[in-house]
A and B are shown apart, each in its own frame.
Chain A
Amino acid sequence: MSWLSRLNPGNRSGRSAAPSNPCTADPETCLMVFENHWRQVSWVLEQHDSLSSSDDLIAVRNHTDQLLCLLAEELPAEVPEGSSASVPPMGPILKLVVTKSILERLLQWHLRRGLDPDSQGALLKLFEMLIGQSQQPLLQHTAILHPLLRLLGACADSELGCPSALENSLVLLLNQVCVSMARQPVVLEMLFRAAPAQQGSTNLLIFSLLVPFIHRDGAIGQQARDALLLVMSASASNESVAQYIAENSYFCPVLATGLSALYSSLPRKIEVRGDDWHALRREDWMSVSSLVLFMNSFEFCNAVVQVTHPVVRSQLLDYLHNGFLVPVMGPALHKSSVDEMIASTAYLDLFLRSVTETSLLKTFLRFILMHRHDNDTILDTLMTRISSNSRLCMVSLSLFRTLLSLNCEDVMLQLVIRYLLPCTHVMLSQRRAIRETDLYGKSANKFLSLIPECCRVNATPSAARDEDREAFWGKMLSSPTTEFQAPARPNTPSRLSFFIRQQSSGGGPSSPTRMEPLHLGLSGPHPLSPDSPIHQQHTRTDCLDWDSGYLEYLKDARWGIERCSWACRDWSAPYDGENPSPNTASLPPPPPTSNPSMAMFPEHFSLQQGGGANTPRVQQRAAIVAAARSEWSSSERDSGEWDVTIGKNNCISLTPRSKKRSLQQEELLPKPLPPLVTSSSVTSLSSSHAISSPPCQITTSAGTLSYQAMYNGTVSQGDGCLDSRDRGLEVKKVKRDLGEQQYLDENANQNGTMVSGSTLPNNVFSNSKITITQPAAETKPLMRNISEPHSTSTDLPETNQLQQSVESIIEELLEQAPEDHQQPGDSNGQGISIEAFTKELRELEDQVNKHSRAACQTEDIVRESLSAELQEEVVMEAKLAGKVMGDEALAGIFSPAQPLNQPVSQPYTVKSRKSSFGDLILRHTNSPTRARHAAQLAFAHVRDGSQSLHSALFRGGGGSGGGGASGLERQAEALRVKNAVYSAVIFCEFLKELAALAQEHAVTLPFPQSEEAEE
């Protein structure tokens, strides 16, 4: 009932329970009450003495309150019969208000006696109530509109301004005005036409009052943005208002440059949680208030672009490009610290993923593709970062994934197609072949042939089974006569596998082991019956199959290609080798050579080694120092770790890795067999693990892993670069010696060690199980999944367990180890003997080296073949495949580090392969579960081994006390080995995926171009 309680903003519902409940009161009574109030108010108003008392003010307020409540709740008069007026006639109270200019007079009185903030706020709230609640289109009457504008004008007054206490009320009122304006478009016209004299300096007062609140935090900002959006959509069809907004208001510049301001308050470094983090998801940024603020404004931008008039839109986009992207995003992406690069790349990725409006997306893409920052396009800069070995690579890849997912012709043109158009990568005589369909699975075969020996199930085929399979397949309907007599039987693989699968799964709970017949490997679920129970059952079983899921890959590939070719059906050209013609295509630009950010981090960028010779020495000087710095700091971090290298004679060498990496890379260039594991990638993995898991503090405190140094690169040891280069030679020598020695060792071991199948790791595991004290509970479910596959198909919790990523397993392993370490008493009591342990270790090394060597050789092959023979096949399908597998293969192949118009024989640097590894792991983190399953299962072969390795290592370290350092080394080594095996497995899954894509391409039908009407 009281003034205050009614106008309490939080008490909106209280208003409907207004004093003189008019719904029940009859209009005549209301009018009488209103007139009565008005009589009393007008008596006060007419006292012209300037010294009106506070009593007067209270009286006026009370009466005004009653008056406006009555007005707000008056129903419009009934439409007289026969009247065709669209606007319902005014109710009697409104009529009185209009004819007597009641509001105008009230406001004049207030203004005359000087509007104190209290009354101002009260009036704002009253008007807000009036407009929000009224049943009649009040704003269409100038008798109401003009006092309102007068009140707002007072708020806009530069001297009085709007006290911050009133901001909430003001924005709420403006919001209400905009809401009713959206309902009655004519109001916009009236607002716009109202004489400038009456509302101050600007035409659209409401608008200019709202603009300062665009980027505000909290509810007030949201209300302001909502209100502005309403104005925007209301003005979408009003040319003059749009013109006004574009030319006379600060809306667009405020919006765009506001983004810049908000961007500058974003965290420079993103605190990452998991090791596999590579992109900002919603849950990541919802907790970062500055990012929430930015995203609110950004989404508002997107919404404005969506609803507004084209004039405003193009102005806003211009401002965004020139006021935000170029001056803010551009430099942010080129910050010198890796952390900042990571952050800005992740932000850009997030923005791109958040945009829904095509024209806004276009602005972003144009910025990425066309804008040159320090002579290089953003795209080129981003591309060079793929070959970095840190999280920057992951984040950049994630950004590229987003870019590719757009199926945008312009992006693909810049990224891939322009390099292929001139067809300089194909001999003239071979060009015709580009257009030919790969009918017989040549590419697929090529891809599959790259699968490392160790990952092949059929390496040990039973001859009989082979025959069986061939028999199935070989059964032919070669002549009509046989056909008519013999019972027809399915003889194509999908069907074939289906039947075999039924057969085998019906055969009881015999667990499929790795040596299970090939059929299982072939038999994925049938592509067309994903819902059948058989499918479900088999998917489970497939998870346990090393070589499973090829049909799944085919299915995914088909879907991906279809979706992609559908999305690309409106591209300007088919890019089929004929159109556009190779002859008219201009040669692609050379790769960027003088990218300062690349020079800053030579270890991140493979190009540096190749192109460094061309650039002037002086220019390079600073870069080298910086490089040395980071090299030094990273080598410091690496000290005590080991490089696994494969020499010419295929021997494995373990070399202490210290301050020699840059040189090693150069020396290895001409070698056919580069080191097994790219050292830095492993290192970054291990170090980040060390950080992420608290128990590893020991590691950091030991001084071997210096996270700070790694990222900041501030350790001032610039002179170290020369040293390190010189010293590299010596180390190299040592390494070779070591290698030979190791070779002998290996020979010796091979005699004694049986490295067949899974027997060895199992043995090892069962031995070491005794030594594991507490972590058994954690690892057991996983083990059981491996050993008892049939129980998993019924047991849900265990299936979930199975889906755990391999990373988490590694983490688990790492975590459990130091815990053991912290309980030396336990480990002393139950530790195994050193002899047994070293033997175990050696066996494991053999086992693992076997895997890794194969993986390494394969890598070499795939590198060559990817760059040479297969290139043509892969890339001319770039239009389709590019988007499907662009984030896997193409980005790697066509990075400027390996320009296509250079001879393919140019050797890759060692580092360049890292991209593919990082890439694979990145893929893995988002990959369908099957890849994960496969990798996990494959990993199991070494996992149980490594596990014992770990527990043994830390037991040994804890027990002997002095062995701590070597324990750390071995931990790093074990990790590296795991990484290698893991990579090998993912690699072969990747090959399967590529093969599946190649096969599906041959059977794809293009979609016809959509008609103009569509879209």
Chain B
Amino acid sequence: MNLNPFWSMSANSSRKRVDNEEQSGHGEQRASPSRLPFGKKQLPPIPKTVAPITKPMSTGPPVQSTNGTHASYGPFYLEYSLLAEFTLVIKQKLPGIYVQPSYKSALMWFGVIFIRHGLYQDGVFKFTVYIPDNYPDGDCPKLVFDIPVFHPLVDPVTGELDVRRAFAKWRRNHNHIWQVLMYARTVFYKINTTDPLNPEAAVLYEKDVQLFKSKVVDSVKLCNSHLFDQPKIDDPYAISFSPWNPAVHEEAKERMFAFKRRPEDHHKGTQVSGLSWVKPGSTQPFSKDDNPPQS
């Protein structure tokens, strides 16, 4: 599988369809690429077809809000913390990294990373981020590649990236999920072999770089050959790839480029034009003005 310059991603929004159906051009696909960089911080809509869950089953550790009296709002705090994290990710504009929270849980994010140069050049690695439910007070999030990449810091069996070495202790307010994503990108450009999860890769990198390189190329090829596979996790917002199909993707691409974020329309047609007569750099009102009335 060679690299098609027109990769297109799309959230697998129509997950109801037959699973082995060919991935090419599906009419209902969301223009996910446009959503990612500018994603609105919204809770995803709920399809009416989803069956309600009737009874809670397990009893996890309760989420205690700080003072305990407002436990009722606790879930809002968590969801909004994660939304805020996601907003931070968007603001960071990490090169080659795209993530999208799962439909089913705000604690699970799907992502893909494009490696544009270096040893892993042309690699397209899909991954999933798992955020602990006691976030932000718990451990650092996990980042698991869908296909274990041949890399000293990636577990060859589970595909999990060794994130913990970078975030020995997850500190609220200091550590953010975008840093995890950033870290995931860095490891492909700056290879660290100490204390590896994949000793083979580590040893090869130090002893036989050529062999290491060829193994990396094989790994990249393997990953890319599975690019059009169905997402591993069945979720409407999982990231799925399909070959470039102008009929489907051209329009989405154009919308992406033409996109201009505007505030959501609201039924009230109120005036939104903000006014300013402040000269940039000044903190005096009406400083921009050149001819004030003589009074």
Contact = CB atoms under 8 A, between A and B. Distances in A.
Contacts, number: 292
A484 B233 contact: yes
Interface stretch (B71-79, B116-124, B212-220): B71-79
Given A467-B62, A474-B60, A585 B70 contact: no
Contacts of A566: 262-263, 272, 274
Interface stretch (B19-27, B180-188, B193-201, B278-286): B278-286
A474 B78 CA distance: 11
Given A370-B286, A476-B60, A496-B75, A488 B263 contact: no
A257 to B, nearest CB: 15
Contact of A586 (B278, B283, B286): B283
A559 B105 contact: no
Contacts of A1015: 273
Interface in A555-571: 558-559, 562-563, 565-571
Interface in A985-999: 995, 999
B70 A466 contact: no
Contacts of A503: 52, 54
A999 B132 contact: no
B266 A1005 contact: no
Interface stretch (A116-124, A300-308, A436-444, A754-762): A436-444
Interface stretch (A402-410, A651-659, A949-957): A402-410
A409 B295 contact: no
Interface of A is mostly: helix
A567 B273 CA distance: 5
A490 B80 CA distance: 15
Interface string A449-485: 1010000111000000011101111111111100110
Interface of B is mostly: loop
Nearest to A580: B283
B63 interface: yes
B41 interface: yes
Most interface-central of A492, A498, A566, A1015 (chain B CB within 10 A) = A492
Contacts of B84: 437-439, 1002-1003
Contacts of B88: 437, 439
B272 A563 contact: yes
A369 B104 contact: no
B173 A439 contact: yes
B108 interface: yes
Contacts of A406: 271, 274-275
B165 interface: no
A205 interface: no
Given A413-B278, A566-B272, A1004 B43 contact: no
B5 interface: no
A364 to B, nearest CB: 11
A920 interface: no
Most interface-central of A365, A441, A467, A566 (chain B CB within 10 A) = A441
Interface string A995-1014: 10001101111010000000
A569 B274 contact: yes
The bracket for how many chain B residues form the interface is 35 or more
A14 interface: no
Contacts of B103: 490
Contacts of A570: 274, 276
A571 B276 contact: yes
B279 A458 contact: no
Interface string A320-335: 0110001000000000
Given A484-B233, A1003-B87, A457 B63 contact: no
B294 A492 contact: no
B87 to A, nearest CB: 5
Nearest to B295: A322
A791 interface: no
A358 B158 CA distance: 62
A371 interface: yes
A457 to B, nearest CB: 7
A675 B275 CA distance: 42
Interface residues of A, number: 107
Contacts of B285: 369-370, 409-411, 413-414
B43 A477 contact: no
A317 B262 CA distance: 33
Nearest to B77: A441
Contact of A409 (B108, B136, B142, B276): B276
B264 interface: yes
A86 B293 CA distance: 45
Interface string B72-115: 11111111110111111011000000000011111110000000
A323 B235 CA distance: 68
B233 A408 contact: no
Contacts of B262: 566
A488 B58 contact: no
A322 B295 CA distance: 6
Contacts of A314: 291
Contacts of A586: 283
A478 B50 CA distance: 23
Nearest to B54: A503
Nearest to A992: B73
A470 B69 contact: no
A573 B263 contact: no
Given A444-B73, A449-B70, A494 B79 contact: yes
B18 interface: no
A180 interface: no
A558 B38 CA distance: 16
B72 A491 contact: no
Nearest to B138: A478
Contacts of A479: 130, 142
A467 B60 CA distance: 9
Contacts of B105: 477, 488, 490-492
Most interface-central of A317, A408, A442, A468 (chain B CB within 10 A) = A408
B77 A440 contact: yes
A316 to B, nearest CB: 11
Contacts of B87: 437, 1002-1005
A362 interface: yes
Contacts of B144: 480
Nearest to A407: B274
Nearest to A493: B75
Contact of B59 (A474, A554, A999): A474
B268 to A, nearest CB: 9
Interface stretch (A15-23, A519-527, A685-693): A519-527
Contact of B80 (A441, A451, A547): A441
Contact of A480 (B38, B52, B66, B142): B142
A436 B173 contact: yes
Given A410-B276, A1005-B87, A457 B72 contact: yes
A227 to B, nearest CB: 28
Contacts of A289: none
Given A471-B57, A550-B73, 7 more contacts: A406-B271, A409-B276, A409-B278, A440-B172, A445-B67, A565-B263, A999-B80
Interface of A: 314, 317-318, 321-322, 326, 358, 361-363, 365-366, 369-371, 405-411, 413-414, 417-418, 421, 436-442, 444-445, 448-449, 451, 456-458, 466-468, 470-480, 483-484, 488-496, 498-499, 502-503, 518, 521-522, 526-529, 532, 547, 550, 554, 558-559, 562-563, 565-573, 580, 585-586, 995, 999-1000, 1002-1005, 1007, 1015
Q: Which 9 A-B pairs have the closest CB atoms?
A: A474-B60, A493-B75, A476-B133, A410-B285, A567-B274, A470-B62, A409-B276, A407-B274, A441-B77
18 contacts: A369-B285, A437-B88, A468-B56, A470-B63, A473-B60, A473-B74, A474-B60, A476-B132, A477-B108, A492-B43, A521-B72, A522-B75, A566-B272, A569-B274, A580-B283, A1002-B87, A1003-B80, A1003-B84
Interface of B: 38, 41-46, 48, 50, 52-54, 56-63, 65-67, 69-81, 83-88, 90-91, 102-108, 128, 130, 132-133, 136, 142, 144, 158, 160, 172-173, 176, 233-235, 261-264, 266, 270-286, 288, 291-295
